[in-house]
Structure 1
Amino acid sequence: MVRGIGDLAMSHAMNYKGYSGRVEFDPRDSIFVGRVLGIADSITFHGDTVASLTEAFHEAVDHYLADCASTGRDPHKPASGKLMLRIRPEVHAAVSIAAQAAGKSINQWADEVLEQAAHV
């Protein structure tokens, strides 16, 4: 399936080497501008076509990883796999019951539910 700029603009996200980028349209310059999400460092990229935007995103992530390697620092990972939540007690109880009913731990159940909700 061939994706056009409109398809990319609708999803607003790109993925490469475990990093995600959010894309928005800049009407002033008539380009798409992106930012890598989930890390403390600021990594941006831009392009006026899907191909140039994708290439710029890949180059930005590759440059970031190369810079980290050359300076001897660990690149920030998009996520550690640990998620701390504070939820209402009644929601916690309902989650516990739903997990038990599915024959799973709360962690297993939540992982599946969050994966589906995040469309991973």
Structure 2
Amino acid sequence: MKNNLLHYKGYYGSVEYSAEDHVFFGKIEYINDLVTFEATDVDGLHQAFQDAVDQYLARCEQLQRAPQKTFKGRFNVRIAPELHKQASLVAAQHHISLNKLVEQAISHEVARYDHSS
């Protein structure tokens, strides 16, 4: 995950700084809706992010639509056809689904990266 992410109520916010405007700013990450926030100092940025999340949730409720979740547990992966074939064959040989094989592979790599940090 990116460094410098804010977290509140299951949502993540990016943190950037504009030297030209002397302002910190960000947006809620990992959703399709565009929700931005800004402040002139770090403490203000934390509060602006929390306010943006709360306003987003309130607006969704007002519109009677479900707020987007940050991580749904589903995503598309594009890989080379040969790797797709190899992964499918390995999964079949081990009597697991391709999804399970990919989940295990990603879990293994994430753990490896976490230990090297």
Instruction: Decide: shared fold, TM above 0.5.
Output: yes
**Aligned-pair RMSD on alpha carbons?**
3.2
Gaps of 5+ in 2: 95-99
Deviation per residue, 1:41-79 (Å, 9 max, x gap): 111111222211111101100110011112211111123
Q: Which amino acid aligns with 1:106?
A: L
Paired residue secondary structure (2:15): strand
Instruction: Return closer, same or farther for 1:14/1:26 CA change in 2, 3 Å cut-off.
Output: same
Deviation per residue, 1:6-59 (Å, 9 max, x gap): xxxx93322222211111111112111101112221111112222111111011
Instruction: Return closer, same or farther for 1:95/1:111 CA change in 2, 3 Å cut-off.
Output: farther
Paired residue secondary structure (1:45): strand
1:96 positional shift: 7.5
Which residue of the other structure, out of 38, 41, 44, is the alignment partner of 2:30?
Answer: 38
1:90 positional shift: 5.0
Q: How far apart, in 2, do the equivalents of 1:70 and 1:63 lie?
A: 10
User: Matched residues, percent identical?
Assistant: 35
Instruction: Return closer, same or farther for 1:88/1:55 CA change in 2, 3 Å cut-off.
Output: same
Superposition TM-score, scaled by structure 2 size: 0.71
Instruction: Return closer, same or farther for 1:118/1:37 CA change in 2, 3 Å cut-off.
Output: farther
Instruction: Return closer, same or farther for 1:23/1:109 CA change in 2, 3 Å cut-off.
Output: same
Superposition TM-score, scaled by structure 1 size: 0.69
Instruction: Return closer, same or farther for 1:94/1:56 CA change in 2, 3 Å cut-off.
Output: same
Q: How far apart, in 2, do the equivalents of 1:43 and 1:70 lie?
A: 16
Name the structure 2 match of 1:63: 55
Q: Which amino acid aligns with 2:54?
A: D
